[in-house]
Structure 1
Amino acid sequence: MDRRQFLKFGSFITVSAATGAALTACGGSDGAADNGLALASGAWKFPQSVASGDPRADSILLWTRAVPAASDNVAAVPSSGATTALRLIVTASDNGAALGSNAALSGATVADVRLPLQAQYDNTIRHKLTGLTAATTYYYQFIAGDNRSNVGRFKTAPAADADVAQLQFVYMTCQDWSVNHWGAMSAIAAENLDFIVHLGDYIYETVGEDFQLGAVESRHDALVLPDGVFKNGSAGAKYANSLNDYRYLYKKYRTDTRLQALHERFAFIAVWDDHEFTDDAWQDAQTYDGSFNADGSDLHQSARRRNANQAWFEFMPADVTLDAANTTFQNIKIYRDFQFGKLMQLVMTDERLYRSDHVIPESSVNPATGKPLGRIGSRYLVPQDLFNSVEAQKMAGAKTIGLDPLTTATILGNPQRQWWMDKMQSATATWKLWGNEVSLLRMGMNGVDAVATLLALNAVSSLATSVGTTAAAAGGNFAVAGAMVAAVTAGAAATVAQAGGVAIATSAASGGAQDAQAAAGVKAGLTAAQASIAVATFGKVAAAASAGQSGAALAAVVGQTIAFGYIKPEVQENKANSKFVAASGKKEALAAFFTKFLLNCDQWDGYNSERKALMAHLKTNNLKNVVAITGDIHAFFAGTVNDDFDATGGGTPVMVDLVSAGISSDSFFSYLRDASAALGDIGVLVAYPLAVPVPGIGTVNLSFNLLDYTMGKAAPTVAALAEQTRVQLRGALAAKGVPEAQLDATVSAVLSGLQANADFSTNLLSLAQQLSALGNNPWLKHLNTDAQGYTLVTLTPGKLTAQFKQANKLVGTSAPAATIARTTTATVTAGSPSVIIS
């Protein structure tokens, strides 16, 4: 075999060039080729099947792992094992009917290659095949001894100068083995795709963590790390540490036949996120709560990082190299780009290996407790003013020692950031897509407005009760009673409030306008502020009475009017010094919330200045049709990325970010729901307990998702509110034993009845509407923070359409037969940095 057709790199990565005929010198049963290795003999198996990755116009990276038939599927291969060889066969003939089986490939071969199978790499194979034809579907198969692997398929990219009418691909993320189910993978396998983008969290490094102890499908048994380290003490959760640990996780995950089916059918373009090494990682540092050095700094684990790098390199079909001679943990470069004709340039980044520490480190001491902050206050729910101050200090410090100011506040690192800018500016394709691990969208919350809203809502019921009592004493006149209760709430004495209410009513009866009514109230002894809210309440109640409302309905009008017309503005103005905060008895607990927060500083909100630099580059150079496809946060989001979210009006849209929920990982909502449970009244910003009666079943207890509305979801109707809980209710009924054949009909009947429930249609609806009115994050056009699923992208020269496909929850201990619960479509039109939701 000619050396131009077969090159060896570091004895592991191999390369060969396809030809029009079989490479008989490199395979078959004709003896050893120039690598000097005899073909394996006897019984073998491929427990992780096959995979392909990084499709280019003329090449592909092919992968498999083969072990003797008697070997355990996931045990480490003994390092003393002899190096042998297997065959790789590739054909352009249609073998689609053989997918999912180990039937022998048919048709003329374009490659027949002998490849070394080495124990030191756990018997994995990484082979790059070049010389392929653009935009062509190929089939491939490995042969070890007497056994064939399943048939694999991949499609090469179109030539760089080709006109491409359409591309279709899925992007996916966050597939925790130990949580929920992988049914979404079966749905993906049925899609008509050109390739798959995987945005990371392909594995999870922990076993037995709190979030991994809930319901999971029975076909996923418990993971047992070969060498795992306890996170705390000598019991409980463990994390992967050794090379064997990380290899074990990839091997175990890849034994699931649904994941195998995806790799067999479609080439992957993959990067990692954090869990391929450690949660919320930066460089080689772990950030588990309570895990710090003696001086309080984050614990750096270079050897562990290198182990994680090597396992990813060995098991992911990515056309990258690992530099074994590099003794640092930055011994691999996975950021790279792909071109698909004139239609798309795809830029994939690495947002963990080069990033600087979180701007506010987890080890920072909380002055209130004297202990490290941990996640809350450093990565999550971070006061925005504090963040801005610390980021500015870090950048100024870098500048004073001659560094780029972003060096200490970067996700990408200086070289990768410049590479990204250059790639975006030089891209010639219509669309520039960015495979981006963590969201670019600002996700903030105004704590002042939130607390003011909650205190106002909490007051509605007592105000309604008070006006009912007052109306009874006032001859049933709810308008006068409302004016009186409003004045008392604003600080008037009861006798003055009564006089003012009567004066206002008298003025109104004689045709006086609102300013005349207010003047009458002031003349009766009310202050201007007291008179103002009393007049507003009187008018709304009078109008409601004229419309036919009476009794409790009128009392509710009073409660809403006073709560949001007076209590909320008073709290917004006076914050912790508000008399209503004092009256709540929770001043100390609420004091910390009177500020603006960034919800997640592990994503781009925690590296705001670098985000602004990237957006300025796009804006200054008039670079259009830039769309990020994003994972990590276990939720669906769609919105615009603006040049400066802190500018008046939130800045100018520059590009779009489309965020996909995880395949199985617990949702962003579920994490915040659990964290907020200890926050008392503040917890209602995230979740609302909802008891749903179901005939024949009993009461089903749900946690209704209010996080979406707090973050900026549009105000709902009662029907939309009911629909929002469909997937959670379906899962809860399945957990109660309702057969799947009956689930959808049962859910629809229960939701219909729920809309007639006063707690749901009045209290919860009002709460959702008020939280939506906070106006947080107006650039977010779609939010679904309680979901699993994936995103299907269809790209044409004129538009990008992303279908967010939400998966149903477990049915008993199995994935649902009806996998997809709902599909929401986000459309981006060429030339416009905006997104339309349908």
Structure 2
Amino acid sequence: MFRAGRGAPLDFAAWEPLHPCSPLESNALFNPFKRRTFLQAVVAVAATTTFGCSDDDSTDASAGSPYFPQSLASGDPRPDSVVVWVRVEDKDRAGDDLPLRLEVSPTEDFKTLVLDKKDLTARAEHDHAVKVKVTGLSARTTYYYRFSYEKDGQKHTTRTARTRTAPASGDDVPVKFVFASCQDFIGRYYNAWQRLLQLDEDLDFVVFLGDYVYETTGDTSFQSGEGGRAVRFSEPEGALPQGTGMTAFLAANSLSNYRDLYKTVRTDKQLQAVHERYPFIIVWDDHEFSDDCWQDVATYEDGKKDETQRDRKLNAEQAFLEYIPLDTVQSPEGAIDVASEPRFPNSRIYRDFEYGKHLKLLVTDYRSYRPDHLIPEDAYPGGVVLDEMLLGAALQGQPDAVKQTFQADAFAYVDIDDPAYAAQKQVLQGVYLSQAKAAGLTDKDAAEKMAAWVKGPLALFYVNQVLAAVKRELVIAPAGKPRGLAYAHMGKAALFNIQGSRYVVVKDTFDLFAAVNFQLSKGKSEDVFGPEQEAWFQQTLATATNTWKMVVSSTSLSALIWDFRQQADITDPTLRQRFYFSVDQWDGFPTKKKVMLNALKKDVSNTVFISGDIHASFASVEEGVPTLTAPAITSGSIKSLASLALIGAGYATGAPVYQHAVTEMDQTLMKSNPGLRFADTDSHGFVVMEVKADETLATFHLIPAGEVAKDYSKRADGELEAKFTAKTFRVKNSDIQPA
């Protein structure tokens, strides 16, 4: 926490005025709830569209061989190269390296080969998965490829897949691609991928924005056990046990566990067919490692213990690099050596692609280098983060009404270490120990955390609530006490809690706290990209001459704010303010977000962000920069998760706050966020982008969330088509409008 006298004088004249806000009481809004990255699951088992091949020596060539249960895929297309992927599985030779052949042809009949590589080896140490970089290709050309495995004199061949290289630099051609995210497998079906196959779009590539797999086997807080789709670890003893009793589940931990996630998800016929048809450009988000993670730190325990998990992170990265067709180090031609690809803390999956004259694509990595969430999950609600001196400096230049707001008694604090408050401190320590042990901490751990948190400047707003519940005569009068900002004023209501730390944070006080932290730390508190990625990001944008510069971000840049200040039917004053719904995404780094977007608006023309993670569809203009957010392929919609959270917090579906936050969620977000042009918080799907010289068209293809548990692969095509709607928006002149 910040204390008087630290740091240089602050200059906040450039910041927008804060709106008056009141602190959040301990029972306000939400109780703790799980979200596991606020998204959910999905998949669809269905008949696949194939590109039949002709090979007299192969087993059933049209259906593919049972030795290739995950089929095949391609990725990272460039004008002269592409990465192709396959995994071979022979249970009779599970421990052996296996020989493979790769054929690449410009024609579907393979009569002409541009590559016939007969010396490939699928190594047991990499789960018999192989990535091959094929070079020397022609720009903007469709190629067909297949792998084969010979056993006992018989040749076994994959299905035939196709891929496409990028246009050459400077080519004046339009580009069409899809972006999508979040495809949890458990209990759900990949109807969105099936719909994309039905559309048969002539795509250059598919961007997948993260959460390709989910690391848990059945977290009941967001994963459905129904529908017959599940993930089971072949080595459950290597996994992390989570929950108890009926809510127990496993989280991937060992390399075997993480491999099982990819092996299971890639058995889905719809997903296989999409990979067989289009090259993918893929980035990870959190669930490829662990929910709401940052660097190599997990968040399951919500601050109850240190969750730095270096080995687990490395296992997650190895499985990702083995199973995803990407090239992290610009490899030469041939099999990519997965063992040589950089790993945490030197991970390097950020990269850029050029598609002719009109598109530069920058794929960023939001998770590997970012700092922790600004409000710790174990933060003591009473802890003061801006004392009187820092708060006063931060409010310089603000309207008198704003300054007056922070002079209210609710912002009073005392130094609890003052001998005059010895009795109060003893009570606070006792209550802390009781709550910490009730949360599962040992006596030793509870005592250590108590000593670290229950000290120094503490906010009377929180302290007096605790004291009043134990012994009312110990309540401390706020008159004459200094004023400061505490975690409680940002919505932190309890120990070891994501409310007021990662989710449902009071916007105005959080923004103020973040801005001070940013200045005192010289930007390190919100250094999302890390120095090397930041340098690459700025240099690539500065030198790009393409018409459009599109930035891929795994998490959404659209501001998701609930503004209840003018809702007369919400009578609780602690709710009548603005809340960020999630600060695990870019809303959690508001200063960095503002600085970055303002610089892009000023210096880079036609920048567009495309993002995912939040399980909702948004089109918005943030600080003058267009931003598009794709819905989840399958993971639970943000509206459904908000509903569960509010009901769990004790709010009836007819309560005003439920009506505004859930029932009317789209309308509330649109009213609360001036930059929003479109919001759909209860649908799944994907977005088709058509990049042209003078405009970009973005078409959201959406299916209601209630359809995701139904397997449309077993129904007539017309049934699925009837469930989808399409909404098209035009991106032009730094704005987004309906087309």
Q: 1:395: how far off?
A: 2.4
Verify: 1:435 aligned to 2:416, yes or no: no
Superposed, which structure 2 residues align to 1:257-336 within 5 Å? Answer: 257-290=269-302, 292-293=304-305, 298-321=306-329, 329-336=344-351
User: Partner of 1:152 in structure 2?
Assistant: 161
Q: Which amino acid aligns with 1:348?
A: V
Verify: 1:708 aligned to 2:701, yes or no: no
Normalising by structure 2, what TM-score? 0.70
Secondary structure of 2:550's partner? strand
Aligned counterpart in structure 1 of residue 598 of structure 2, from 613, 616, 639: 616
Superposed, which structure 2 residues align to 1:495-644 within 5 Å? Answer: 581=571, 590-621=572-603, 623-642=604-623
User: Partner of 2:695 in structure 1?
Assistant: 799
User: Partner of 2:370 in structure 1?
Assistant: 355
User: Partner of 2:121 in structure 1?
Assistant: 116
Q: Which amino acid aligns with 1:138?
A: Y
Q: Which amino acid aligns with 2:175?
A: L
User: Partner of 2:70 in structure 1?
Assistant: 48
What is the CA deviation profile of residues 419-441 of structure 1, one whole-angstrom value per residue up to 9, with x for unaligned ones? 21221121111111111111112
User: Partner of 2:645 in structure 1?
Assistant: 675
Distance 1:114 1:327, change over 3 A: closer
Contact 1:179 1:665 in 2 (8 A): no
Contact 2:303 2:377 in 1 (8 A): no
Q: 1:212: how far off?
A: 4.2
Q: Which amino acid aligns with 2:122?
A: L
Q: 1:384: how far off?
A: 1.9
User: Partner of 1:39 in structure 2?
Assistant: none
Give 5+ residue unaligned stretches, structure 1.
1-27, 30-42, 72-76, 96-104, 399-404, 456-580, 582-589, 643-652, 690-702, 713-774
Q: 1:778: how far off?
A: 1.5
Q: Which amino acid aligns with 1:64?
A: V
Distance 1:325 1:374, change over 3 A: farther
Q: Distance in 1 between matches of 2:277 and 2:657?
A: 40
Secondary structure of 1:273's partner? coil
User: Which stretch of the first structure deviates more once superposed, 372-381 or 345-354?
Assistant: 372-381
Aligned counterpart in structure 2 of residue 810 of structure 1, from 707, 711, 728: 707
Normalising by structure 1, what TM-score? 0.62
Give 5+ residue unaligned stretches, structure 2.
1-55, 58-64, 330-336, 383-461, 467-492
Aligned counterpart in structure 1 of residue 196 of structure 2, from 188, 206, 224: 188
Q: Distance in 1 between matches of 2:695 and 2:650?
A: 44
Contact 2:302 2:496 in 1 (8 A): no
**TM-align CA RMSD:** 2.7
Verify: 1:246 aligned to 2:258, yes or no: yes
Q: 1:371: how far off?
A: 4.3
- The structure with the largest helix share of the pair is 1
Contact 1:154 1:265 in 2 (8 A): yes
User: Partner of 1:84 in structure 2?
Assistant: 98
Contact 1:801 1:828 in 2 (8 A): yes
Q: Distance in 1 between matches of 2:100 and 2:340?
A: 27
Distance 1:424 1:325, change over 3 A: closer
Distance 1:348 1:325, change over 3 A: closer
Q: Distance in 2 between matches of 1:423 and 1:59?
A: 21
Q: 1:373: how far off?
A: 4.6
What is the CA deviation profile of residues 369-413 of structure 1, one whole-angstrom value per residue up to 9, with x for unaligned ones? 884252211111101233224323432442xxxxxx222212222
Q: Distance in 1 between matches of 2:223 and 2:519?
A: 44
Superposed, which structure 2 residues align to 1:188-267 within 5 Å? Answer: 188-190=196-198, 191-192=200-201, 193-214=203-224, 216-218=226-228, 220-224=229-233, 226=235, 227-233=238-244, 236-267=248-279
Q: Distance in 2 between matches of 1:686 and 1:168?
A: 41
Secondary structure of 1:835's partner? strand
Contact 2:317 2:343 in 1 (8 A): no
What is the CA deviation profile of residues 531-588 of structure 1, one whole-angstrom value per residue up to 9, with x for unaligned ones? xxxxxxxxxxxxxxxxxxxxxxxxxxxxxxxxxxxxxxxxxxxxxxxxxx5xxxxxxx
Verify: 1:819 aligned to 2:715, yes or no: no
Contact 2:296 2:368 in 1 (8 A): yes
Q: Distance in 1 between matches of 2:222 and 2:577?
A: 33
Distance 1:366 1:811, change over 3 A: closer
Q: 1:619: how far off?
A: 2.5
Superposed, which structure 2 residues align to 1:90-105 within 5 Å? Answer: 90-95=104-109, 105=110
Q: How many residue pairs get matched? A: 546
Contact 1:802 1:827 in 2 (8 A): yes
Contact 1:794 1:802 in 2 (8 A): yes
Contact 2:553 2:609 in 1 (8 A): yes
Contact 1:289 1:374 in 2 (8 A): no
Q: Which has the larger radius of gyration?
A: 1
Q: Distance in 1 between matches of 2:249 and 2:577?
A: 35
Superposed, which structure 2 residues align to 1:770-809 within 5 Å? Answer: 775-808=671-704, 809=706
User: Partner of 2:434 in structure 1?
Assistant: none
User: Partner of 1:828 in structure 2?
Assistant: 730
Verify: 1:424 aligned to 2:432, yes or no: no
User: Partner of 1:747 in structure 2?
Assistant: none
Distance 1:685 1:305, change over 3 A: farther
% identical aligned pairs = 34
Q: 1:291: how far off?
A: 5.5
Secondary structure of 1:352's partner? coil
